[in-house]
Each structure stands twice: as structure tokens, then as C-alpha cells.
Amino acid sequence: MIIVMDKSATQQQIDNVIEKIKDKGLDASVSRGIEKTVIGAIGDERILDPELLESLPGVQQALHIVKPYKIVAREWHSDDTIINIKGNLIGGENIQVISGPCSVETPSQMAASASAVKAAGVRMMRGGAFKPRTSPYSFQGIGFEGLDMFKEAAGKENLPIVTELLDVRHLDTFLEKGVDVIQIGTRNMQNFELLKEVGKIHTPVILKRGLSATISEWLMAAEYIASGGNHNIIFCERGIRTFETAYRNVMDVTAVPVLKRETHLPVIIDPSHAGGKAWMVPSLARAAIAAGADGLLVEMHPTPCEAWCDADQAINPEELKKLMLELSQIASILNRKI
């Protein structure tokens, strides 16, 4: 069961609800978001009477949730959640494209990337200072120095930054350096200790789907973050592993309508990692928006053939401009805006 407290609810009123829950032999989990405090009743919730709980001071709503993921479920939050990142909205009628290079390389490369992202009409920038690689001998990113380069280049173009967090020990530094959106990559989708820590902050989190994760596992991973109090979560489908070898991963476009039915949180797609080839990116991006995705994570490099990481899947600045025009036309048909 989910008990949603009024914004003005006092700590004593919250404690009273917890006491009622525990009196019935259940446990209680408190999630304090920016806008709402949510109490989850853990156990056989059938013995709790929603009307009784709603009569308690400070309670806005109490309702049974039959799914194991409670806070991220659409059952208790019928409207789409819209996440605001420095004035850039994701969710509802708002589609947000996030673009930039796979990895931070040099100050000149990042400056050129930021300029190209801005010129294409993209309002948020991605870039990796720390890179998880299959081989320990591959380029791993240039670390905090790269994060500084990224922040400086994006700041000159007034672009919020999105970057991947690999290690919980880096979290405080990410916050100190002003990372606007933290990305949890596919390999860390079920790194539960990491999820718990980003759940304690209110910085928006992009949660990528694991290579072989089911929709339910993905939703439960998001619940780890939400249960800590951070409800600013964005799901990102980036392709799953199957038997097929003709392309890098299989972009599961079906995940978009399924997630939109199951959760109120925004859903975006990463067509770059799904296809693994630049020539596939426009087609996959168009399909994603047509299917109802709330945004895209697109790799763009000023000179793709010189990229230090994932060169094959990066589009160039002119291709990004053209793609943005095409996506705007698709969005308008769906009464949405980019």
C-alpha cells in the first residue's frame, strides 16, 4: 500500500501513520521527495483499510498497490511525471533530445561538440568522463579532468550536462562539480548500493536498461532509487542482448508503450548504442519518437572518424541538424514538441 502525505504534513503526522502500519504487523518505508512524502506499507497490505488511513491528519491519499514496484507505478500516479532540468522538460508533451560525444577527449573537441549541439537545436549535452569498457585495455575516460572540460564547454553554451556515474565514491565530486543529470549505465542497473546512494539525492537520474534485464527488473531497479526519496528518474532503453549479430543490440521499441502503461516516469531511447552504427541512428531515433518516447540520447562527435570511443555509432553535426528537423515533424503529428 502507498500512503501519500500532504505537502504540509508534520513529522508527528508521518510518525502516526507509521505507527498505525506497524500496529498491524507491517513494516513502513518512508520516501521523501521534493514535492511529496510517500509511505510504503510492506507486508500483507490487504489488512490495511485505506479509508481509515485517509482519515488520519496529514494523509492525502491511501491506496492498495498490487505490483511490487510501488512508487514508480502508474497505479498511484495517473498523470505523466514531467522532470525539469534547468528549464528543459522531459515527459508529458515534451520530448527532449540529449546529444554529445561518447567520451570527453580534449577541450577543443568538447568546445566543438557543445557548439554543434547548440546549433542543432539540442538543449542538453551528454559526454562520458568515466567509461565502462568490456576490455580493461580500452580507453577508460580521463576522469575528473574530463568532467571539468565538459562542464566548461557546455556551460559556455548554457547546456545542462548528462554523464555516467560508475562508482559511488565519485558521487560527492559529481555533485560538487554541478552534474545536472546522473546516468546509471546498463552494467550498473542492478548495482543496488549505487542505486540506493543516488536515491538519497534529488539530482535527476537516467537509468539505462541492463543488457538482459526484463521490464520488471528494470522497474524494480528504479524503485530502489525512488524508495530513497529521489523521484526524478528517467528510463532509458539502449538495446538488449539477443541471438542477433547483424547489429550491436536489439532496440526494444515495445518497451516504450509497456513502460508508459506501467510507470508515470519519462522513457527515452538511446539509438546509438542500440544499432551500434551511425547509419542506423536516424531510423531508430524516428521509430522511438513515433512509438511515444519522451526523448533520445544520441551520440554526436564533431569528427566521428577521430573519436576515441565508439566511433562507428557517432553521427556528425550536420546529421544531427537534419535529424532534429525530422524528429520535430514527427513530434508535431503526435501533438508533442521538441
Mean pLDDT, residues 197-219: 96
Indicate the average pLDDT of the chain: 93
Where is 168: in which H helix or E strand? none
> For the ranges 42-46, 83-87, 207-211, 254-258, which has the lowest average pLDDT?
42-46
**Cα dist from 298 to 14, 239, 316, 328, whole Å:** 43, 13, 11, 15
Q: What CATH class does 2-64 carry?
A: alpha beta
Question: pLDDT class for 34, splitting at 50, 70, 90?
Answer: confident
Mean pLDDT, residues 251-278: 96
Nearest-CA neighbor of 121 among 315, 322, 334? 322
Nearest-CA neighbor of 297 among 173, 209, 222? 209
Mean pLDDT, residues 296-300: 97
Residue 76, phi then psi, degrees to nearest 5: -100, -5
How far is CA 34 from its chain centroid?
17
* pLDDT computed for residue 35 by the predictor: 79
83-333, CATH topology level: TIM Barrel (3.20.20)
What's the burial of 13, exposed, middle or buried (CB within 10 Å: 0-12/13-18/19+)?
Answer: middle
For the chain, give every residue range classified as CATH 3.30.70.1140.
2-64
- What pTM was computed for the model? 0.89
Residues whose CB is less than 8 angstroms from the CB of residue 74 and which lie 6 or more positions away in sequence, other chains included: 261, 262, 263, 264
Per-residue pLDDT reduced to its tens digit, 146-197 = 999 999 999 999 999 999 999 999 999 999 999 999 999 999 999 999 999 9
**Cα dist from 149 to 38, 188, 200, whole Å:** 39, 25, 27
How far is CA 220 from its chain centroid?
14
Grid cell for residue 59:
494523509
* pLDDT computed for residue 167 by the predictor: 93
Predicted confidence (pLDDT) at residue 44 exceeds the cutoff of 80 = no
Mean pLDDT, residues 125-141: 82
* pLDDT computed for residue 139 by the predictor: 76
Predicted confidence (pLDDT) at residue 59 exceeds the cutoff of 80 = yes
For the chain, give every residue range classified as CATH 3.20.20.70.
83-333
Predicted confidence (pLDDT) at residue 310 exceeds the cutoff of 90 = no
Grid cell for residue 287:
521509430
Predicted confidence (pLDDT) at residue 47 exceeds the cutoff of 80 = yes
Mean pLDDT, residues 277-297: 97
Longest CA–CA span in the chain (Å) reads 64
Where is 297: in which H helix or E strand? strand 295-299
Q: Across the chain, how many H-helices and E-strands are there?
A: 11, 14
* pLDDT computed for residue 154 by the predictor: 97
* pLDDT computed for residue 135 by the predictor: 78
Contact 168, 184 (CB under 8 A): no
Predicted confidence (pLDDT) at residue 137 exceeds the cutoff of 70 = no
State percent of the chain over pLDDT 90.
80
> For the ranges 50-64, 202-216, 274-288, which has the lowest average pLDDT?
50-64
Q: Cα–Cα distance between 128 and 264 in angstroms, integer?
A: 28
Question: Cα angle at 136 between 106 and 167, to 5 degrees?
Answer: 75
- Grid coordinates 542482448 are at which residue? 241
